[in-house]
Amino acid sequence: MFRAQINANAPLQKGSGKMTVELPFVPHAGDFLLLGENQVQWKVFKVTYIVHDDFHPKRDFVDLVIEVSQAEK
């Protein structure tokens, strides 16, 4: 499982456009994810990996940030 931060252009969960999820795969731009309290379909448009330097507390981890927009119906 991959822990990822999801950033959206609209509220995902409890009015926030951000949420942390665990995914069984790393999505790519163009993929769709079901997210939020109502399991709405969101389209992935950007995936960013953040590698920390040796002095960062999370230096042994790579952060995965996924930006999504609500899918067209």
Please write the tens of the pLDDT for every residue from 41-63. 889 999 988 887 888 777 777 78
Cβ partners under 8 Å of residue 59, min gap 6 = 52, 53
User: Is the pLDDT reported for residue 7 higher than 90?
Assistant: no
Confidence grade of residue 73 (pLDDT, cut at 50, 70, 90): low
- 7 vs 57, which has greater pLDDT? 7
The pLDDT value given to residue 3: 82
**Which among 53, 56, 42, 55 is positioned nearest to 4, based on CA atoms?**
42
Burial state string for 21-43 with b = 16 or more CB within 10 A and e = fewer than 16: beeeeebeeeeebebbeeeeebb
The pLDDT value given to residue 44: 94
Please report, in angstroms and rounded to a whole number, the separation of the first and last CA atoms in the chain.
29
